[in-house]
C-alpha cells in the first residue's frame, strides 16, 4: 500500500474505485466485489478494521459504495455522503447508482449528510456535481481527493449517466482549478504528485471545449 503523508492508498481492482484511508476514515470502499482484497491491504498496513469508524463516499455509484452495507453491518461504520446523492440511494434508483451493472440491489443504509464546507478531519467538503448531482471532493489545502470529478492527466468523469450534467461538470472543474493543489487522488487510475495544477487546467480546457 502506498501512502502520501497521512493518506493511505489502495488502488482499485477490476471496476472498483481507488480506496483511500485518512486516520479513521475510509473513502470509497468499492463495490464489495474486491472487499477481501481491500481488507487484506488494510490489515497489511498494520491497521485493524476496528481502527476505522467512518466511510465517506465521494458519490453514490456502486463501484465506490457497494461495500458500504457490509461494512456498516459488520463494523458499525458511519456513512457520509452529499444529501443529493443520499436521495438517489433512498429512492433505490438502481440505474442512477449503477447497481444494476453489478447485479446488486440497493440496500437500506443509515447515511449522514455531508454538505459544502463541512469538515472531515482537516479536509473540507467541496460539492462538485457533474458526474452525479451530489458528487463531492475533499481538500485540505494541499491534497485533493477528487472522486470521479477529475482524474490524473487532465481527464474528468463522464456526465451521461443519470443525475450527471455536463454544465455542472464544467463549473465544478473550474472551481477545482482555482485551488492550489499539490497532490491529486482520483477515484480511478494513478494519483498525481507533480504538475497537478497543469492537469486541472487541462481538464478545464477539455471540458470547456464540449
Q: What is the DSSP letter of 156?
A: B
The pLDDT-based confidence of 101 (bands split at 50, 70, 90) is confident
The pLDDT-based confidence of 112 (bands split at 50, 70, 90) is very high
Instruction: For 48-78, write each residue's pLDDT tens digit.
Output: 999 999 999 999 999 999 999 999 999 999 9
Instruction: For 7-64, write each residue's pLDDT tens digit.
Output: 999 999 999 999 999 999 999 999 999 999 999 999 999 999 999 999 999 999 999 9
Considering the entire predicted model, what is its pTM?
0.97
Taking CB atoms within 8 Å and a gap of at least 24, the contacts of 86-92 are 86/60, 86/111, 86/113, 86/134, 87/134, 88/60, 88/132, 88/133, 88/134, 88/163, 89/60
pLDDT(100) > 90: no
Amino acid at each position: 500500500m502506498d501512502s502520501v503523508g497521512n493518506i493511505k492508498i489502495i488502488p482499485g481492482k477490476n471496476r472498483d474505485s481507488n480506496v483511500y484511508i485518512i486516520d479513521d476514515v475510509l473513502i470509497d470502499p468499492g463495490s464489495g466485489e474486491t472487499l477481501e482484497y481491500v481488507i487484506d491491504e488494510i490489515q497489511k498496513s498494520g491497521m485493524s478494521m476496528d481502527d476505522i469508524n467512518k466511510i465517506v463516499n465521494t458519490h453514490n455509484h456502486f463501484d465506490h459504495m457497494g461495500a458500504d452495507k457490509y461494512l456498516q453491518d459488520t463494523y458499525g461504520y458511519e456513512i457520509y455522503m452529499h444529501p443529493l446523492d443520499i436521495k438517489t440511494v433512498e429512492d433505490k434508483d438502481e440505474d442512477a447508482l449503477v447497481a444494476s451493472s453489478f447485479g446488486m440491489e440497493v440496500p437500506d443504509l443509515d447515511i449522514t449528510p455531508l454538505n459544502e464546507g463541512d469538515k472531515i478531519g482537516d479536509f473540507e467538503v467541496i460539492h462538485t456535481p457533474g458526474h452525479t448531482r451530489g458528487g463531492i471532493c475533499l481538500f485540505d489545502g494541499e491534497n485533493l481527493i477528487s472522486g470521479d470529478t477529475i482524474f490524473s492527466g487532465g481527464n474528468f468523469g463522464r456526465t451521461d449517466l443519470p443525475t450527471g450534467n455536463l454544465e455542472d461538470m464544467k463549473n465544478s472543474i473550474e472551481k477545482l482549478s482555482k485551488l492550489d493543489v499539490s497532490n491529486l487522488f482520483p477515484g480511478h487510475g494513478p494519483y498525481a504528485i507533480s504538475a497537478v495544477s497543469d492537469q486541472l487546467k487541462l481538464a478545464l480546457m477539455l471540458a470547456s471545449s464540449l
